[in-house]
Amino acid sequence: MTTPTGPSIVIRGQAPFGTCFMQAVAAVATEHGVPDAAARLGPSWGFRRVAGHRLGGGERWLAGTARLTGLRLQRFAQTDWAELAQAERAALADSAQLIVAVDSFDIESPYRDHEHLTHALVLHRYAGDEVVVADMTNRPEPHSLPLHVYQKTRLSPVAGGFGIVCRGVVGVPPPSDIVADRLRAELPAHRGELAVLEQFITDVREGRTGPDVDIADVAAERLALSQVVAPPNGPDDRWTPVAEAFADLSHRWYIVHAMAWAATRGTGTLRPARLVRMLTDLATREADLNTRLSAIMQVGSPCPR
């Protein structure tokens, strides 16, 4: 057996992160010297259709994080094991850090052996017939995982060989007005993607999404956004109402997600008509906040009065 070794991760456990990938990126960024890394995850604000039953966020947070941290963050995906392992080994040999998607079904987690859910690990190194990984949520200390288990879980349909490569050295922190510039760029993208939300609501109403509606990524994106624009990382204290507005949206999305999640697992009930009403209310709130922020930022005011 290989003795697990690796650098210490500062951000651990159930910290206030929207997703396990955001938590892992924040941990890796902290190792690279990024101050307040948890508050530099984004910003991204939007919608995209991930699957028939699943609604995701705009998924531009990685590009925003790279801009706010100075790191180079790149997605990759490979479903051929030989090529995947070769690419990961090469990146590690080049002093990169890797965040990799796995299946919670296969690893030590609350879902082991009974539910397939995408999860993120930090991959430290290959070590013979094992790999050394860290799980920021379930087991943050570096530990060994048999290579055959790692291969299986990396190629699981819910993981798809996806990963994130992190490189770079953090220099001078970016000026605070970059946050405002990034949010300003998100406004038209979000406005255009409201149609994706409307179509999702229509599909829920007409029964095309199936029973297991998943909107967790939408809630997570708004949680991260509320942290990005909040002081001290936001341009100034006057951005507090903006941060609070995004936090409120995140809270409301999480409530709906939790109710839908419980209903699909037999521990709660949520009639489709009620789900549609709640999603419609959220769509209205999303559009209203976009209109409010767009009007403010177009006239050059730094924040709501």
Does residue 269 share a domain with residue 153?
Answer: no
Residue 23 CA neighbour count, 13 Å, CB half: 22
Does residue 181 share a domain with residue 149?
Answer: no
Measure Cα distances from 220 to 118, 156, 174, 238, 288 in Å.
15, 23, 24, 23, 20
Does residue 145 share a domain with residue 107?
Answer: yes
Counted domains in the chain: 2
Helical (H) or strand (E) element with 147: helix 147-154
Angstrom distance (rounded) from CA 100 to CA 102? 6
Does residue 160 share a domain with residue 27?
Answer: yes
CATH of residue 203: 1.20.120
Q: Is residue 172 part of a domain?
A: no
Task: Split the chain (305 residues) into runs of 10 and give each run's mean pLDDT.
Answer: 43 60 91 84 91 88 89 94 98 95 94 90 97 93 96 96 89 69 91 97 89 86 88 66 90 89 68 90 97 77 45
Please answer whether residues 144 and 135 qualify as being in contact, where contact means their C-beta atoms are separated by less than 8 angstroms.
Answer: no
Residues in the chain: 305
What is the crossing angle of helices 61-69 and 20-31, to 10°?
A: 20
Does residue 272 share a domain with residue 136?
Answer: no
Q: Is residue 42 part of a domain?
A: no
Angstrom distance (rounded) from CA 225 to CA 203? 27
Question: Domain limits at 269?
Answer: 177-298
Amino acid identity at 57? G
CATH of residue 152: 3.90.70.10
Does residue 195 share a domain with residue 154?
Answer: no
Angstrom distance (rounded) from CA 217 to CA 223? 10
What is the model's pTM?
A: 0.84
Which of 167, 191, 222 corresponds to the end of one domain? Answer: 167
Measure Cα distances from 107 to 10, 145, 150, 189, 249 in Å.
22, 9, 9, 37, 32
Q: Is residue 276 part of a domain?
A: yes
Does residue 267 share a domain with residue 206?
Answer: yes
Does residue 224 share a domain with residue 285?
Answer: yes
254 token code pair: 């999480």
| SS3 call for 19 | coil
Q: Is residue 108 part of a domain?
A: yes
Q: What is the pLDDT of residue 300?
A: 46
Does residue 146 share a domain with residue 25?
Answer: yes
Does residue 188 share a domain with residue 117?
Answer: no
> pLDDT tens-digit profile of 203-262?
999 988 876 788 989 999 999 988 888 866 655 666 788 889 999 999 999 999 888 877
Give Dmax (Cα) for the chain: 63
Angstrom distance (rounded) from CA 229 to CA 301? 15
Angstrom distance (rounded) from CA 196 to CA 270? 22
Please answer whether residues 198 and 282 qualify as being in contact, where contact means their C-beta atoms are separated by less than 8 angstroms.
Answer: no
